[in-house]
Structure 1
Amino acid sequence: MIVPIDGRLARNGLPAAGNARTLVIACGALAHEITALKRLNGWSHLDLACLPAIWHNHPERIVPGVEEAVRHHRTAYDTVLVAYGDCGTGGKLAQTCATLGVEMIAAPHCYAFYEGADRFAAHPEEIAAFYLTDFLARQFDAFVWRPLGLDRCPELVQSYFGNYEKLVYLAQTRDRALNARARDCATRLGLTYERRLTGYGDLPAFLAPRD
């Protein structure tokens, strides 16, 4: 399922009048942030089509979904960018993007490129950290709590999260309400809480117009 976000994709998959040069095929969890960056920077060169964010719970769907989206849209654009990290595909997404000749953001997942891939890799001791982004702070119940059955069996929290030590909220924005939500998530999981204001990390450079 391909969901056009900014309304410029026509029903046949081709861009509407005033063609953009670049299509970003992205995880739905990034839709709000990419749309914000497009607006803030005046990036009229970008169109955005998103795949379901819930596929992070089913990474086997990501590679065929991205491949289908690229093949469906690529003839209408000069450039196609894939705004996904590896996201549990075991390197298969990068292989597919290389085969298709499209650029993918270089990171294992969105937590890494939000913090900055190099900075994220410099903290191997955080293997026991559970990460949230703005999106996951908003959608914690829908993407974590209920899919794991913790709404029905909260006693399973220890089984799922007993080996984690802290929850790290990688904040894209200064939002007190989201900070409170993220802190509540940490409390519910029995984890210590840390907030880092990362902003959009490596994402703006990836989306910016190429010279």
Structure 2
Amino acid sequence: MEPLTVIACGAIAREIGAVLAANRLQHVTLTCLPAILHNAPQKIVPAVEAAIAAAREQGCQRIFVAYADCGTGGGLDALCLREGVTRIPGPHCYAFFRGNAQFAEEAEEHLTTFWLTDFLARQFDAFVAKPFKLDRHPEVVGMLFGHYERVVYLAQTDDAALDRRGRAIAARLGLAYERRLVGYGDLTPALVAAAAGA
């Protein structure tokens, strides 16, 4: 099987590793970019572009981008088209973990939902609380999250400790809590197809 390089968001590195291992995709090399890029989506496209160039310099002929649009406003799609590579479909990881088709069907409820994944349940303080200074200024919670009605935790794994973290995050934000065990959603078929050259 021809080698494949997957350039991925660091926020889904664990999940990609699990999919690769479960499907014995040993010919796939994973390159992860910093997850914190999500707090500055304008930096995602240049970072992915540099990673593609680096992979090609190392002789990689097949590259798959494991990023959804992630706030790039179509910039990532334009880059992929220009570079002749593909990416996983979807606006963000919440959509492809849920399943893009199912996520689109539920569009009306999205405006008042704050989404969590396994990664964000683990890293809420580093990626949300500290950057938005919720730890020092809890009064801004209402300003930032006042239009939300609930936290929906799209769980990749059945982990009681992460469920407790999700509940604690919802309580901290003053929101209702819902957990859906969705697994890896569209990530698995996308990676398997890319690895097979489909």
TM-score (norm 1): 0.89
| Distance apart, 1:74 and its partner CA | 2.5
Provide, for residues 72-125 of structure 1, a one-character-per-residue CA deviation record: whole Å limited to 9, x for no partner: 112522310000011111101111111100011110000000000000000122
**Aligned partners of 2:126 and 2:28: how far apart in 1?**
29
Report the more deviating stretch, 152-161 or 121-130: 121-130
User: Which portions of structure 1, spanning 4 or more consecutive aligned residues, are displaced by more than 6 angstroms?
Assistant: none
**Aligned partners of 2:107 and 2:63: how far apart in 1?**
32
Alignment match of 1:129 (pick from 113, 125, 129): 113
Provide, for residues 23-74 of structure 1, a one-character-per-residue CA deviation record: whole Å limited to 9, x for no partner: 0000000111111111122110211001110000000110000011101112
Residue 170 of structure 2 aligns with an amino acid whose one-letter code is A
Match of 1:86 in 2: 69
Match of 1:28 in 2: 10
| Distance apart, 1:20 and its partner CA | 6.4
Structure 1, gaps ≥5 residues long = 1-18
For residues 152-163 of structure 1, what are the structure 2 equivalents within 5 Å?
152-163=136-147
Q: Is the 8 A contact 1:128 1:166 kept in 2?
A: yes
Match of 2:166 in 1: 182
Q: Is the 8 A contact 1:20 1:47 kept in 2?
A: no
Aligned residues: 193
> SS where residue 76 of structure 2 aligns?
helix
For residues 94-173 of structure 1, what are the structure 2 equivalents within 5 Å?
94-126=77-109, 127-173=111-157
**More helix by proportion, 1 or 2?**
2
> SS where residue 35 of structure 1 aligns?
helix
Match of 2:184 in 1: 200
> SS where residue 128 of structure 2 aligns?
helix
Match of 1:43 in 2: 25
Match of 1:56 in 2: 38
**Aligned partners of 1:167 and 1:28: how far apart in 2?**
22
Residue 68 of structure 1 aligns with an amino acid whose one-letter code is A
> SS where residue 139 of structure 2 aligns?
helix
- Identity score, percent: 54
**Aligned partners of 1:41 and 1:89: how far apart in 2?**
30
> SS where residue 23 of structure 1 aligns?
strand
**Aligned partners of 2:70 and 2:85: how far apart in 1?**
17
Residue 169 of structure 1 aligns with an amino acid whose one-letter code is Y
Q: Is the 8 A contact 1:129 1:164 kept in 2?
A: yes
